[in-house]
Chain A
């Protein structure tokens, strides 16, 4: 059981380049999330998905797009990277909200630097 995995672990982009971050989970979770973590600001939700084929905006969605074509995968795309998107990105997954447990399982993170 690998849990939540993220690819890649590190990436350096130039301003204007694009990239896709991949998140995969093997726990059959319905919900998946993308967060960014910046110093002093905690974890801020970018986008999330409540099931295969669905996506929704979080607190800071601008500049990002997502897709959930398969239940186990959640992709985060940056179409035209900006220095303000330099951050550590975490993916998480959980069961649905109808019954406990409500725990979110986090991946190890992707450190992205945009120069």
Chain B
């Protein structure tokens, strides 16, 4: 079955710097890759996603890149702000299949 690895497990950056979180997946049939943000005491919330027919997607300060050949995808946050501090999860899914497999998470701290 699918296995998703995520690095780093913790990340600390200065406010205004960029943050990058990387994930790898094992199943070449996976075709949808969402990123979720979990703030303290809350459930995860989708922030951006990418499908396998796209190499990059941007939404304001957030971007995701996908390399299907290498089976890895990354989340890029530019101009980080204290409210970006949270746990971020990557995930992989085959849309013809019912289960989403999540990575173990990255705890991001943005230092003012």
Contacts and interface: CB of A to CB of B under 8 A. Distances in A.
Given A31-B98, A102-B93, A40 B104 contact: yes
Contacts of A107: 43
Contacts of B43: 4, 90, 92, 106-109
Contact of A48 (B36, B46, B98, B105): B98
Contacts of A102: 32, 34, 49, 93, 95
A1 to B, nearest CB: 15
Contacts of A41: 104
A27 interface: no
B contact residues, range: 20 to 34
B93 A43 contact: no
Interface in A72-115: 90, 92, 97, 102-104, 106-109
Contacts of A58: 99
28 contacts: A4-B43, A31-B98, A40-B104, A40-B105, A42-B6, A42-B89, A42-B103, A42-B104, A42-B105, A43-B44, A44-B102, A45-B100, A56-B98, A58-B99, A90-B43, A97-B95, A97-B96, A102-B34, A103-B46, A103-B49, A104-B34, A104-B44, A104-B46, A106-B45, A107-B43, A108-B41, A108-B43, A109-B41
